[in-house]
Structure 1
Amino acid sequence: MNLKLKISAALVILIAGSAAWLHHSPPELFHVGSNYTAKIVCTNVFMLNRDPDEVLRVDVQAPGNPFLKIMKVAVDREHGIVRAGLFGFIGNGLAVYRSGTGCAAVPDGNIAQALKYQFHPEPIPAPAADADWPQGSKMSLNEKVDKVIQQDALTGPAMRGVAVISHGKLIAQRYAPGFNQDTPLLGWSMTKTVNAALVGLQVGAGKLALDQDHFWDTNDGREKIKLADLLAMTPGIEFNENYGDVSDVTRMLFLEPDMASFTHNKPLQHPPGTFWNYSTGTSVLLSRIWMNTVEKDALSFPRTHLFAPLGMSSAFIEADESGVITGGSYMYATVQDWARFGQFLLQDGVWNGQQILPAGYVDMMHTVVPASKGKYGRGQLWLEGPEARNTAEDANADTPFNLPKDIYWMQGHDMQIIAIIPSQQLVVVRMGLTPDELYYQPQALVAEIIKALQQ
């Protein structure tokens, strides 16, 4: 064999060996990306009845991460399983669909474990098309506000849906091609605020208390963490929320079958109540805490005790492989149903004259956490909107837009936003797929809506 043939043969062996190694022992980052892909495609296919190739192209690959561009998926519709990987075989991504609890990434491959956690939900009556919002879905169009939300520069790149609620009425809405008022959209971290409301239901029922502190059986300081510390993101637990690599948050979401236990086992870094650290793991812990207080049917609790009373017929929150609701990330709802929840907060937890959350609980939720330097409230709400590229560390990102001082926000990854302004009786929802690095600021949209309403 001549030298050229020997080199070619060696290269073939090297490439084949590398491919085999990558298939059986992929780097953790590839495993994270593959499970992320499988999870997103699974939910959109089995819960939202979307085309898997479209979801892969529009939802997974569109934001621009280079290695997601070479992801391939295989959908087993008979068994509700999605597999994903780089080139289709590197990364071992796996997700499975369950009735009622949606899709879960299955990082350890234990599909049977994930399938234990499901239920058959009773349908929530959809809002009537001929009835005014919020009982129905009929809009009372404000043409001046409608002109504002038709401006692409204000609604931002890759907007998917916008709704404006003024004095309890839907006055304007807009949707991108391929989406409409019946399309459930992922709220990402806006789920945290809904999860805080689920905690509030159990506080109101006397099953939890804000000063409660027996969630850890330890003697290392974690036993001093109170429910109020968890809600305020000040438990002092180590948690890295950086999404750029294999961090605590990406490991928890895509490499850990039991997300709550992963966070529960993290060490204490700061005395409870003294240091603010935004953490999706903290929200998942809150899910397990309130679920432990529900005597039966904890998986259906959000639907029966919150979504049904508010008429949020499209809403669902998914559970992880271990059956704990992923209260930091995975709630889907239509734009109008997200708006119903925003209006519910605006009305201090009252709906149709019924005090659903304890009196004063919503006020607590948007009371400032001093350790957050004015940015965050005590119940998983933001006190200012997204920052610009050049926003100073101690500056309020809302100040340049002259927004009312009482505004507070629900915020999620890729610029999912609900702005709530009690003094204006105004709720603005904006959903999309807008990467954070674009530094889109919805404050400009909200400011122009307020001006239009004052004309």
Structure 2
Amino acid sequence: MKYLKWFLLLLLAAVIVVVFLNYERLDIVSGYSAKSMASSVFTAKRGFQFTDSTDNNFSPINIAKDEIDLQEKSATASVFGLNKRKAIYREGLGSVLIPDGYKYTPDNIKPKRNFTKIELPYPYGNLEQKDTVFANVDYKKLQSVIDTYSQDSLQTRALLVIYKDQIIAETYAKGFNKDSRILGWSMTKSITSTIYGVLQSHGEIDVMQPAPIDAWKDDERNKITINNLLQMNSGLEWEENYETISDVTKMLFQEEDMTSSQADEPLVGKPNESWYYSSGTTNLLSGILRKQFNSYQEYLDFWYTDLIDKIGMHSMLIEADMIGNYVGSSYGWASPRDWAKLGLLYLHQGNWNGAQIFTKDWYDYAVTPTNSSNGRYGAQIWLNAGGFLPDVPRDVFSFNGYQGQRVYMCPSKDLVVVRMGLKPMDFNGLLRDVIEVIN
């Protein structure tokens, strides 16, 4: 009995040590699971069981146990009964993690939307597109390509090919269709950048000016420009690692104000000489945007009135953090067809059916390689100027997101390709094979 007692005490001590060492990790796991469940059920209108068996069914997230409250519109998650986290849904602002003891009181502040239907065929209106057959497209071969890259093992949820403004191929996994909202993750960064493009085109901001961060005024960070932030070339310290406890996972699943995470970091490189991909930088940009408007309501509205709803991306919803900042780095939801509209806007250099949403100058700026990125990055947009995708044209550029969310634009082929899923795939092969069917 004496030895058994000591053994149990040692076992208890070991468990306590393991829990202590992994407490923050479990907190992030619970936070991810609760946030994902709330967003999937209430923002994307999918079911609890579906979300539990798909979106949340990967290690280590699948060790969390989720619960849903349909009346309260909330989701909770915990790991072995520990680290319980809760996420709530707010109309117009999406789902957000809340701290213990927080009581949510709806204040009716939400973005004003314009869902007026336009009597034009897709992509410029709400009608179905007119059937168009292109003589130079091998449709049989294209269908074979679509079948190959939408196999169940690849976990592709949507695959969409648009040529000369016409959908020439489209497929969806079971449970999804053309109207399904799908999380774009970091594709949302390109929305944030585009908002700057709209403001710059209106003459309301100059991205070459120093970033207006009060805490930087009296130190070496005062040389950082908005341009440096847009190009991920600020030189600020940051760790973008989703596999461990890092700056990005702490920001997304623990911070109430996500715009401050990057602003608090020291300078570890030289602005314009230290390219490093940072979601914190994009949320800092969202915070800077908020200060450009006279009221919070104007900040909420502008993203929709001057870009999202203006080009008919009516399914899109960008979620906000606890204090109301759009999480411009990661939390944009939209249907694949609406994600494609953003791609078409860039393919046409800011022109949307005759209306100039942003100038060609902004387009040129956005797709110009950032210094020290080796031709891979522009202004919150990924580029192929350096040949990272070796078998496709160098003019290809894209919006990229976690788990293999992509919108690819190929100007030389007048082509947009959208792929949404749960894991990355051979994107070089996908684009190569799609381009080959267009003679």
* TM-score, scaled to structure 1: 0.87
Deviation at 1:163, TM superposition (A): 0.8
Shift of the 274–6 alpha-carbon distance from structure 1 to 2, 3 Å rule, reads: closer
Q: Secondary structure at the match of 2:78?
A: strand
Asked if the contact 1:342–1:420 (Cα under 8 Å) also holds between the matched residues in 2, the reply is yes
Deviation at 1:126, TM superposition (A): 5.6
Q: Which segments of 5 or more consecutive residues in structure 1 lack a partner in the other structure?
A: 386-394
Rounded Cα–Cα distance in structure 1 between residues aligned with 2:112 and 2:153: 35
Alignment of 1:444-455 (within 5 A): 444-454=429-439
String of CA shifts for 1:365-390, please: whole Å, max 9, x gaps.
0101121111111x1111139xxxxx
Rounded Cα–Cα distance in structure 2 between residues aligned with 1:56 and 1:114: 28
Say whether residues 1:418 and 2:419 are aligned partners.
Answer: no
Rounded Cα–Cα distance in structure 1 between residues aligned with 2:55 and 2:278: 24
Rounded Cα–Cα distance in structure 1 between residues aligned with 2:153 and 2:206: 40
Alignment of 1:10-409 (within 5 A): 14=12, 18=16, 27-61=23-57, 64-65=58-59, 67-87=60-80, 89-106=81-98, 108-109=99-100, 111-112=102-103, 118-119=109-110, 121-122=112-113, 124-125=115-116, 131-136=121-126, 138-139=128-129, 140=131, 143-144=139-140, 145-152=142-149, 157-217=154-214, 218-296=217-295, 297=297, 298-377=299-378, 379-384=379-384, 396-399=387-390, 401=391, 403-409=392-398
Deviation at 1:213, TM superposition (A): 0.6
**What amino acid is the match of 2:173?**
A
Deviation at 1:17, TM superposition (A): 8.5
Question: Following TM superposition, where does structure 1 have runs of at least 4 consecutive aligned residues deviating by more than 4 angstroms?
Answer: 2-12, 15-19, 112-118, 153-156
Rounded Cα–Cα distance in structure 2 between residues aligned with 1:125 and 1:84: 38
Asked if the contact 2:123–2:341 (Cα under 8 Å) also holds between the matched residues in 1, the reply is no
Rounded Cα–Cα distance in structure 2 between residues aligned with 1:449 and 1:168: 15
Bigger CA drift: 189-198 or 218-227? 218-227
String of CA shifts for 1:159-201, please: whole Å, max 9, x gaps.
0001111111111101111111110111111111111001112
Rounded Cα–Cα distance in structure 1 between residues aligned with 2:104 and 2:272: 36
Q: Secondary structure at the match of 1:193?
A: helix
Q: Secondary structure at the match of 1:27?
A: helix
Asked if the contact 1:303–1:316 (Cα under 8 Å) also holds between the matched residues in 2, the reply is no
**What amino acid is the match of 2:234?**
P
**What amino acid is the match of 2:27?**
H
Identity across the alignment (%): 32
Asked if the contact 1:138–1:170 (Cα under 8 Å) also holds between the matched residues in 2, the reply is no
Deviation at 1:4, TM superposition (A): 7.9
Deviation at 1:78, TM superposition (A): 2.4
Q: Secondary structure at the match of 2:75?
A: strand
Shift of the 114–193 alpha-carbon distance from structure 1 to 2, 3 Å rule, reads: farther
**What amino acid is the match of 2:328?**
G
Deviation at 1:260, TM superposition (A): 0.9
Partner of 2:428: 443
Rounded Cα–Cα distance in structure 2 between residues aligned with 1:60 and 1:397: 31
Shift of the 4–267 alpha-carbon distance from structure 1 to 2, 3 Å rule, reads: closer
Q: Secondary structure at the match of 1:230?
A: helix
Asked if the contact 2:150–2:159 (Cα under 8 Å) also holds between the matched residues in 1, the reply is no
String of CA shifts for 1:236-262, please: whole Å, max 9, x gaps.
110100111110011111111111112
Rounded Cα–Cα distance in structure 2 between residues aligned with 1:54 and 1:72: 14
Shift of the 114–147 alpha-carbon distance from structure 1 to 2, 3 Å rule, reads: farther
Rounded Cα–Cα distance in structure 1 between residues aligned with 2:369 and 2:151: 28
Asked if the contact 2:113–2:309 (Cα under 8 Å) also holds between the matched residues in 1, the reply is no
Q: Secondary structure at the match of 1:453?
A: coil
Shift of the 131–221 alpha-carbon distance from structure 1 to 2, 3 Å rule, reads: same
Deviation at 1:55, TM superposition (A): 0.7
Rounded Cα–Cα distance in structure 1 between residues aligned with 2:364 and 2:5: 74
Asked if the contact 2:66–2:75 (Cα under 8 Å) also holds between the matched residues in 1, the reply is yes
Asked if the contact 1:154–1:445 (Cα under 8 Å) also holds between the matched residues in 2, the reply is no
Say whether residues 1:431 and 2:420 are aligned partners.
Answer: yes
Rounded Cα–Cα distance in structure 1 between residues aligned with 2:6 and 2:268: 54
Asked if the contact 2:272–2:371 (Cα under 8 Å) also holds between the matched residues in 1, the reply is no
Deviation at 1:127, TM superposition (A): 6.8
Deviation at 1:359, TM superposition (A): 3.1
Rounded Cα–Cα distance in structure 1 between residues aligned with 2:152 and 2:275: 31
Rounded Cα–Cα distance in structure 1 between residues aligned with 2:325 and 2:21: 28
Shift of the 44–188 alpha-carbon distance from structure 1 to 2, 3 Å rule, reads: same
Asked if the contact 1:124–1:312 (Cα under 8 Å) also holds between the matched residues in 2, the reply is no
What is the alpha-carbon root mean square deviation over aligned residues?
A: 2.7
Asked if the contact 2:396–2:409 (Cα under 8 Å) also holds between the matched residues in 1, the reply is yes
Shift of the 126–314 alpha-carbon distance from structure 1 to 2, 3 Å rule, reads: farther
Shift of the 245–9 alpha-carbon distance from structure 1 to 2, 3 Å rule, reads: closer
